[in-house]
Amino acid sequence: MVYTRVSELDFELDQLPHMPPASRLVMTTPDHFSIDYVINPHMAGNIGSVDKNRARQQWDDLKEAFARCGIPVDVVEGMPGQPDMVFCANQTLPFLRTDGSKGIILSKMHAAQRSGEVKHFEAWFADRGWDVFDKIYHGDIDFEGMGDALWHRGKRLLWGGHGFRTDISVYDTISQGLDTPVIALQLDDPEFYHLDTCLCILNEDTALIYPPAYTKEGLALIRRFFPRVIEAPETEARELFACNAHSPDGKHVVIQRGCTKTNTALRDHGFEVIEVDTDEYLKSGGSVFCMKLMT
């Protein structure tokens, strides 16, 4: 079932099956990262501006930050001609069945420039024994993996963004195929083109959000399921991608350096903040969450 407003809900969070949170991460090497085209507002004016050495150092520092949290990181090699492949949250949606077996749903990328990335992740996961699903698309619809589809930590519940990169219709198929409810959130601001740019699920009870990115119905759904909602201020959300942070363990929060007000709020709620610099990737419209995939 896909839910778009509070009045449609027919379950409580504590009624949903437990699902173990991801225990590993995947990152894609930045050797071929560059800005060669414009497919989101953040890229405008930044073509050819990437400092390759700085980008590599920032990627290494982010990988080390996850290691400091005790999270193993698997590495997928970036490929020539795929400059956005480093944003590896977008090409797949990993999932766990109730019997413990693992699979992925392949993305169908909205931008033609990124369509070639998916096959490399398909091969990587298939080589490691994951079940791979791509025959879920009917007609001309798009789906961009964990850029828009986020698992509620510890519960069999999927949050699904739609409006720019993902069609809402895909969530009916995913909900039925994975036997899980989906909370669909419409995105209206093109600077927040993926759900992971305006929603960071920190733990089962807490979310970091940028409220103006949502409709009234979307905000009500978020507040319905998260007893604690931390709001990022506009400058930090738009310019520093504060909500594109990631909590790999429900305790630490890895976030772009300089999100002063957001970080204060996170610490006030008991989280340990780990600041990293991803400004080379911000030029392309991505930061911490975009640069990793939870498995």
Distance CA(45)–CA(143), nearest Å, equals: 27
Distance CA(289)–CA(294), nearest Å, equals: 9
How many other C-beta atoms lie within 10 A of the C-beta of residue 290?
26
Buried b (16+ CB within 10 A) or exposed e, 41-74: ebbeeeeeebeeeebeebbeebbebbeebebebe
**Residues sharing a CB contact under 8 Å with residue 210, sequence separation 6 or more, in sequence order:** 192, 197, 198, 231, 232, 234, 237, 238, 242, 243
Distance CA(55)–CA(61), nearest Å, equals: 10
Distance CA(205)–CA(3), nearest Å, equals: 19
DSSP string, 135-180: TT--SS--B-HHHHEEEPTTBS-EEEEESSSS-TTHHHHHHHHHT-
Residues with catalytic roles: 194, 290
